[in-house]
Amino acid sequence: MSAGNHGSLLAAIKGQPKQVWITAFAAVIAFMGIGLVDPILLSIAEGLHATPSEVTLLFSSYLGVQVVAMLFTGAMSARFGAKRTVLTGLTLIVVATALCAAAGSIEQLVGLRAVWGLGNAFFIATALSVIVGAATGGQAGAILLYEAALGVGLSVGPLLGALLGNISWRGPFLGTAVLMAGALVLCSVFLSSDKHERRPRVRLLDPIRALGHGGLLRTSIGSALYTAAFFAVLAWSPFVLEWSAIAVGLVFCGWGLCVAVAGVVLAPKLAARLGERHATVVAVLAYAVLLAVMMVPSKPVLVVAIIASGLVSGLLNTLFTGTAMSVSDAPRPVASAGYNFLRWMGGAVAATVVGHVAEWFGSPQAPFLAAAVLCVLAGALLAIRQRTPDEHRVPATAALVGEEF
């Protein structure tokens, strides 16, 4: 997304219809799911007698299913309509989160998180199209609202997880189920039915075909490397800090607020100054530097670096998406689906292996070193300029699928 397309957040939120606010509210809750379990990882490990490697599977099962499912949500939305796709996703999330609160083993919890990821894929991949279609003030303002919802969800998730998790590790799951049930009711009542709308045809392999473009493929792989580093911080930091749920929740609440501010306010300015590609290279290398700082065996230093990394993550979340959407001639929704497939695959893999990396190297700081190396590789990959036009084409008949997570 280019910087020139961004308006002020105030202009974006002014005079929006009910269904935009309701969908944005549901999106906040959906994005909360990413960081919700972060403050209670230690509590879950103790309560279910699980190892750190088993507990981090809560991220990988959630993300892994979500990644694969996103390739199919465009076809589902085109066939059944955005409203029914959104409601299906919300229903799956409500059921999964309620059952998570009653899970009796880490295996059950990991499986239910996978169902949660499936519901999230159906919802998130369709929510932006609903917001864009209903919002006043154009697509740029609608996307800005969506990015704001992302930032708020990332900041509120850890805080809610900490507050309810201080009572019991089951509390955050039950609280999310209640909130999402409310969103389900509101969406079922207020979202406009699109049953009779004519919807363009979607082919399942269009997102994969879009990755045949060299520039988009490099950007997507670079984003996957960065996202792997992102989840190394998110999934492993609580085990290094070894603090209470409240303390970890406050740290990641500050981190999430930084993500929100940087993504909505700072990223457009940096892109306008340096250009999206160069700004992305600078930001991902800055993330590598912060990861190197996290290797210092000092908890205060780690906390400062985590919160500061939120600023860089906010920049990168917006800049990577903007670069991916402008680097090829593929229809924006199709390019987005292919890009997000690789992007979140990086997070799923990282969440799976991060605990093993610490065990292999015998150091709790080892995952941060591995993540820093991945960011340097991402920066080098993105610095490569495409010299010749890429003749790859994706059919323009592909329909709208998810733009973000």
Domain that includes residue 236, residue range: 3-383
* Residue 395 lies inside a defined structural domain of this protein: no
Structure confidence at residue 301 (pLDDT) = 96
Structure confidence at residue 386 (pLDDT) = 58
In tens digits, the chain (405 residues) has pLDDT values of 444 444 455 555 566 777 778 888 888 887 787 777 778 888 888 889 998 888 888 888 988 898 888 777 766 766 777 788 889 999 999 999 999 999 999 999 999 999 999 998 888 767 766 766 666 655 556 666 777 787 788 788 888 888 888 888 999 899 889 888 988 898 888 777 665 555 556 566 777 888 888 888 999 999 999 999 998 998 899 889 988 888 988 998 899 889 888 888 888 889 889 888 899 999 999 999 999 999 999 999 999 999 999 999 989 988 887 777 777 777 666 777 788 788 889 988 988 888 889 889 989 999 999 999 999 999 999 888 755 444 444 433 333 333 444
* Residue 53 lies inside a defined structural domain of this protein: yes
Structure confidence at residue 6 (pLDDT) = 43
Instruction: State how many domains the chain has.
Output: 1
| Most distant CA atoms of the chain, gap in Å | 60
pTM for this entry: 0.80
Structure confidence at residue 2 (pLDDT) = 42
177: domain CATH number?
A: 1.20.1250.20
Structure confidence at residue 121 (pLDDT) = 84
* Residue 393 lies inside a defined structural domain of this protein: no
Chain-centroid distance of CA 277 in Å reads 20
* Residue 298 lies inside a defined structural domain of this protein: yes
Residue type, 378: A
Distance CA 139, CA 72 (A): 24
* Residue 338 lies inside a defined structural domain of this protein: yes
Those residues whose C-beta lies under 8 Å from the C-beta of residue 347, and which sit 6 or more positions away, are 59, 63, 227, 228, 230, 231
Structure confidence at residue 213 (pLDDT) = 86
Structure confidence at residue 194 (pLDDT) = 61
* Residue 399 lies inside a defined structural domain of this protein: no
* Residue 57 lies inside a defined structural domain of this protein: yes
* Residue 388 lies inside a defined structural domain of this protein: no
